[in-house]
Structure 1
Amino acid sequence: MTNNRGVAYMGPGHTEVQEIPYPTFELMDGPGVNPANVGRALPHAAILKVVTTNICGSDQHMVRGRTTAPEGLILGHEITGEVVECGPGVEFIKEGDLCSVPFNIACGRCRNCKEGKTGICLNVNPDRPGSAYGYVDMGGWVGGQAEYVLVPYADWNLLKFPDKDRAMEKILDLTMLSDIFPTGFHGAVSAGVGVGSTVYVAGAGPVGLAAAASAQLLGAAVVVVGDLNEERLAQARSFGCETVDVSKGDVGDQLEQLLGVPEVDCGVDAVGFEARGHGSEAATEHPAAVLNSLMEITRAGGGLGIPGLYVTGDPGGVDEAAQVGSLSLRLGLGWAKSHYFVTGQCPVMKYHRGLMMAILNDKVQIAKAVNATKVSLDEAPQAYQEFDAGVAKKYVIDPHGMVA
């Protein structure tokens, strides 16, 4: 049998590369696997040789110990790979196909999947709607920061690239289709970004940069990115965004200096529950700071797209309320301004084919926007440490040395 290795979460601040079982067409017991999923037969699955798999900010929340993730969990939900074996129930996907794997695991059969809401599939996670590879409370599907990974419901989930050689030439861009590019795009679309919009994106990490690039692709007139990290703000400026340093004062005042008015048409939260305060409070954690700020600076009648992660269990939360995901939101302000909010996992399949075509036809350079940086599987633990320190990079793991 072929060997396999993967990146495991081993406690707060600690990851390591381990020998792990090669995938089979049955979901086996292991760290984080829901007991109701153990032994689940997967004739509809495919085994992929992982070509690229990325480190995500959502992974970092777990590695910091800010979730209830169990030790030993194999990480990784951003996966691109080559099909090496298909189960007997796979009809259309073939061995040798190079495919993007949506981070949402979806059955394609339930009501939500049929309505295009693949982020909240009803059949793959016994605990609640929605699932993902290598993620806490998501059913226990093994993560893809590994050499090989199993993808269930392969005919439904996999996005096959039309030309393998052409795809490999743009693999650092196409690897972003599994999560952050559609997620950033979803945040921009959900916020109502269109031609001529002014947009504020909170957070200059990879998802925020992807949201900013998406807003440009959608025709925004001005995209402003806010963060505390100057290196990441410089990365946003590198592809034409305006920036504000939220540690230097009120966001509305800084927007007025840039735009002539202290508000924008559309707001995107690409930070999530580990948000820090603004101005003099920038050194401390304030979980609702970004959402409340967005309600202050988004015009009446505007929208808020919220791709940033919020959780129901945060052992490191600043108080008992935050530890169960309860935040002190100024909902009255949002109500008074007739804001609308869109939250939750991005339904990747809603967007990924169109974004693939934009990449293949040179309409967007998402790898450049997020500063995609290749590392080996053995270098992944160090990359996690550097990412946690705030480097302006999107780490792409290349387990088999296939990326030029």
Structure 2
Amino acid sequence: MPPFDVPEGDPFGPHNLPYGVFSPTGSDERTVGVRLGDHVLDAGAAARALGSPYASLLARPSLGPLLAAGRTAWSDVRRALTAWVTVPAHRETVGPLMRPLSEVTLHLPFEVADYVDFYASENHARNVGRIFRPDAEDSLTPNWKHLPIGYHGRSGTVVVSGTDVVRPQGQRKAPTDPAPVFGPSVRLDIEAEVGFVVGVPSRLGRPVGLSGFREHVFGLCLLNDWSARDIQAWEYVPLGPFLGKSFATSVSAWITPLDALEEARVAPPERTHPLLPYLDDTREEPAGYDLRISVAVNGHVVSRPPFSTMYWTAAQQLAHMTVNGASLRTGDLYGSGTVSGPAERERGSLLELTWNGRDPLELPDGKRTFLEDGDVVTLTAWAPGPDGTRVGLGEVTGRVAPAVDTAG
């Protein structure tokens, strides 16, 4: 099928146009690409051929320059790209610059500056509280309804979809063990999340308010924050996650611009506690997103977490992340935290799906409590688009590789 003739209902039609970075098979040269159906457009080459003033932003090996250019440039480039792939007069020029996805290699689309992971799903937080604090009067911690809880992760281990994840090693200690032991994690887990990508930086000492979200955040992607639950449980008191989280965070190769998700914007769940002014979004535009996520293990769907249930929005997370004066940098990435809905098959982690290993999942290739070597985890998602279309968010996939032998 010709690259412009995208089938009706394709979630990667001209209403979507997510950005990535690719190199043709057999080449080391990377450039910005835009997905249309099962093809990718060399956006830089198209911009040069059509005399776009934004050619210098698109003919790059990373999305960084485009991210830093700001909302006016983002909107202008998106309008131009839409015209390039829909106006018949451009087909002769643009057609030769489209490549089948099967003939390219996709790369991490931007250089990750800082990485923060949040804990924004009330369903997830309550499930975790019930698992680990079953006798507590309230399954939520006292601060949870007052601020978006988060932690700073390791940007250097953010990897693109398709990268193998080596089983991490570290200390672990069960409550009944007399002393900690060292070795590969035996409780390797996933966290189905959505990542938000910062474009425009901010000045040190200048918080970004709720209304600044769309001026600073370029788009979003799927994110899997792999977790070694046994390492995490032993190390996290009192400073929080460290080695149990820092070994790998997988992101999709495609970044969907916020402008492609206008139809997916929804109000967040009703607030049950009054919020301090810098987080109070009652008079702001709806900042939730109706994203439908699927989690598959070895090709078998085990969960469908709904992002619309997230208590804290990405705008609130950004406001809280900077309220102390912390600055933003181009390429900052922050994760929503595990997305979990109220139903059992809407939970975004194996910790919840198996209730900490008590209730194994029945898969075609056997039972699972936590991940085994060779398991492949794939997250996919879509969102409502204009005129009944769907906006595809691509996928993020990773295979568990055995731990590295450290003997000797």
Same fold? TM cut 0.5:
no
- In the superposition, the TM-score normalised over structure 1's length comes to 0.29
Comparing both chains, which one has the higher relative contact order based on Cα–Cα distances under 8 Å and sequence gaps of 6 or more? 2
Q: Which has the higher helix share?
A: 1
- Which has the larger share of strand? 2
How high is the TM-score relative to the length of structure 2? 0.29
